[in-house]
Amino acid sequence: MARGILVTGGATGIGLAVARHFAEQGARVVVTGRRQEVLEAAAKEIGAQPVVCDHTDPQAVERLLTQLPERLDVLVNNAGGNTDWTRPAGGELPPLEAFVRGFRANLDANLVSAALTTKAVEDRLAEGGAVISIGSIAADKGSGAYGAAKAGLASWNLGLARELGPRDITANVVAPGYVADTEFFRDQLTPERRDHLIASTALGRPGAPGDIAGAVAFLASPAARDITAQVLNVNGGEHGTR
Ligand code: NDP
């Protein structure tokens, strides 16, 4: 039977590279996202099933369940991003109201979304399966609400690993450094900032979505059956060489 895989935010960037990997292995892959057109185009390209879903919305996640296979072997909690850039709260709001909305939006997008999705599908996770959540080097860098959300994700994962361990299901975080060629940074990076990020790595180059997909593939493979409750840093050596 084909392995059942759910990749949240699987239509672009890292999620798309992850979904493509599993689709090429012959798995039944479901990819989600909020933009129907983007999602459908990506799903068609790699041979996956698209389902529109906002992973911060419990009702939308409930609806997603009706479209998923009964048995899931791998859940990849990849949906996320820095909502201070993509959906800034504010406008006419009083400053503190804008601040707290922005902060909560980041927690929702990067932490609550993963916890909610995992909770929804946990009964369908198969023995020998894996939950892999995409964290960030931002968790260790003091990167505001986004970094705090990703640090929370790593902490939450520890409890998840303990919860799922008796069912022989692993739970790990893959924490990328700077990954180029995704929508993540959009127009946020000046050439100087980009050069600085690259110069901070040991390898002297940015990561690619495929680099992150390789780490996810490993953690979802039989070779990684004894690895759980870990954060795997995939950042070209940015950790420890700055
Ligand atoms: P992208 O912006 O290309 O990917 C994010 C994907 O998540 C998009 O497809 C987006 O689609 C989807 N998404 C975001 N929020 C939601 C939501 N609430 N519900 C459903 N889908 C959602 O960037 P990346 O591929 O770079 O990012 C993937 C992950 O990697 C993120 O968690 C990010 O924080 C993390 N990361 C990225 C780094 C980088 O340098 N690029 C570094 C470290 C971590 P849509 O907008 O249509 O919903």
Structural domain span for residue 122? 4-234
CA of 207 to the centre of ligand 1 (A): 15
Asked, for residue 185, whether it belongs to a domain, the answer is yes
Q: In what order do the strands lie in the sheet with 125-134?
A: 49-52, 28-33, 4-7, 72-77, 125-134, 170-176, 231-234
CATH number at 99 reads: 3.40.50.720
Using most ligand atoms within 8 A of CB, pick from 179, 216, 232 the residue to mutate for ligand 1: 179
**Does residue 89 carry a pLDDT above 70?**
no
Reply yes or no on whether the pLDDT at 239 is more than 80. no
Does a structural domain hold residue 131? yes
Give the integer Cα–Cα distance in Å for 167 and 24: 27
**Is a pLDDT exceeding 60 seen at residue 242?**
no
The whole-angstrom separation of Cα 174 and Cα 18 is 12
Residue 137 is assigned to a structural domain of this protein: yes
Report the C-alpha gap between 5 and 156 in whole angstroms: 21
Residues in the chain: 242
Question: Does the residue 239 lie in any domain?
Answer: no
Residue 136 confidence (pLDDT): 97
Q: How far is the CA of 80 from the centre of ligand 1 (A)?
A: 4
Q: Give a yes or no: residue 242 inside a domain.
A: no
Ligand 1 atom at shortest distance from the alpha carbon of 185: 41
241 located within any domain: no
Q: What is the pLDDT of residues 71-87, one digit of tens each?
A: 999 999 999 999 987 76
Residue nearest ligand 1's atom 10 by CA: 9
Mean pLDDT score of the chain: 95
Supply angle C-alpha 235, 240, 242, rounded to 5. 85
- Which pLDDT band holds residue 142 (cuts at 50, 70, 90)? confident
Centre of ligand 1 to C-alpha 78, Å, is: 6
Percent of the chain with pLDDT over 90: 89
Please name the residue whose Cα sits nearest to atom 19 of ligand 1. Answer: 54
Ligand 1: list residues with CB < 6 Å: 8-9, 11-15, 32-35, 38, 53-56, 78-81, 109, 113, 134, 136, 176, 178-179, 182-184
Which residues are marked as active site? 146
Does residue 124 lie in a domain region? yes
The count of structural domains within the chain is: 1
Q: Which helix (H) or strand (E) holds 216?
A: helix 209-219
